[in-house]
Amino acid sequence: MTNVAFLGLGAIGRPMAARLAAASHISLAVWNRTSARAASFASESGARHAHTPADAARGAEVLITCFPVSADVESLLDGPDGLLAGIASGALLVDCTSGDPATSRRIAARLAERGVGFLDAPVSGGTVGAEQGTLTVMVGGDAALLERARPVIAAFGKKIVHCGDVGAGDALKAVNNALLAVHVWSTAEGLAALAKAGVKADVALDVINASSGRSNASMSLFPERVLTRAFPRTFRLALLDKDVGIAAGVAREQKVPAPLLQLTADLFRIAHNALGEEADHVEAVKLVEQWAGQTIS
């Protein structure tokens, strides 16, 4: 048995933790800021309910964190209830937050002082992928540490890829999500224009999805969420705004001109400000529709 702690039972964290709780080779402890969520998860899954990050860390060989931003992970390290108060030398922290490379490098350095390993390991595949255990996991850090963590990560991840040093997973995840954002926004602009020109969205998507302009947005998100007007809340627009901003920052840091990434970051910041903290990422389409004076249908 491997003793694992999972911290951050949000939209994607909760189903990831459920996969770990169901794995026969794992003994799980969970912590969540809103304690009631951890209590209900623990009573449903049989996991131990830890009342502080330090309590979760005690006895854990592998700790997994999944918070909105890297700064949330960093803020849980210190203090009498913080992770560092409970974590043992030789343990390993796998951060599944879609984080930023600079903060991940700082966290890795703090943990290294205590003999604790660190991997940035953001995931892709959405809440459904988490439920099914088919997430893609992109990992930055020491490859030998990844091999140690792999049997644990495999409980929720199907494609687990070592990408480079600490921060490489974060950078790749941010660029992936920037591409998602570009596809959502550009598909919305195109379909709104086509609808105004008299081409129905289902006809347009039928053609695009058999042609070279297709993407996950055109193949899944628009048919399932926009045309149905369902707009389920699975991945917050605020988080995609954060991701595109990180991608634009990576390009800036590397002195790569990236006007499209920066424009997309600005558009998603505008959408986030207009639609609020709880809106789903696909709801950005509603802003395009508003600007166009045209519903995509």
Catalytic residues: 173
Q: How far is the CB of 71 from ligand NDP (least distance, A)?
A: 8
Question: Per rule CB under 6 A, is residue 67 in the interface with ligand NDP?
Answer: yes
User: Which of 234, 262, 294, 295: binder of ligand NDP (CB under 6 A)?
Assistant: 234
Question: Per rule CB under 6 A, is residue 157 in the interface with ligand NDP?
Answer: no
User: Which of 5, 20, 21, 123: binder of ligand NDP (CB under 6 A)?
Assistant: 123
Site track for ligand NDP across 75-94, x = CB under 6 A: x-------------------
Q: Comparing C-alpha atoms, which of 117, 121, 63 is closest to residue 90?
A: 117
Structure tokens that stand for 259 in this block: 């006007």
User: Which of 3, 33, 45, 55: binder of ligand NDP (CB under 6 A)?
Assistant: 33
Question: Per rule CB under 6 A, is residue 104 in the interface with ligand NDP?
Answer: no
Question: Per rule CB under 6 A, is residue 101 in the interface with ligand NDP?
Answer: no
Cα gap 57→82, rounded to integer Å:
9
Question: Per rule CB under 6 A, is residue 68 in the interface with ligand NDP?
Answer: yes
Cα gap 238→268, rounded to integer Å:
8
Q: Phi and psi (nearest 5°) for 158? A: -105, -50
> Which 1-20 positions form the footprint of ligand NDP (CB under 6 A)?
8-13
* Cα torsion angle, 104, 107, 111, 116, sign: negative
Determine the length of the chain.
297
Q: How far is the CB of 54 from ligand NDP (least distance, A)?
A: 14
280 DSSP assignment: B
* Cα torsion angle, 224, 229, 232, 237, sign: positive
Q: Which is nearer to ligand NDP, 68 or 190 (CB)?
A: 68
Q: Which is nearer to ligand NDP, 62 or 195 (CB)?
A: 62
Taking CB atoms, the residue at the shortest distance from ligand NDP is: 10
Q: Are 283 and 240 in contact (CB under 8 A)?
A: no
User: Which of 20, 66, 153, 163: binder of ligand NDP (CB under 6 A)?
Assistant: 66
Q: Are 122 and 96 in contact (CB under 8 A)?
A: yes
**Cβ within 8 Å of residue 232, ≥6 positions away:** 225, 280
**Amino acid symbol at 171:** A
Question: Per rule CB under 6 A, is residue 36 in the interface with ligand NDP?
Answer: no
Question: Per rule CB under 6 A, is residue 34 in the interface with ligand NDP?
Answer: yes
Cα gap 180→62, rounded to integer Å:
31
User: Which of 55, 61, 72, 81: binder of ligand NDP (CB under 6 A)?
Assistant: 72
Q: Which residues pair with 2 in a beta bridge?
A: 26
Q: Which residues pair with 31 in a beta bridge?
A: 7
Judged by the rule CB under 6 A, the positions of this chain that interact with ligand NDP are 8-13, 32-34, 37, 66-68, 72, 75, 97-98, 123-124, 126-127, 234-236, 239
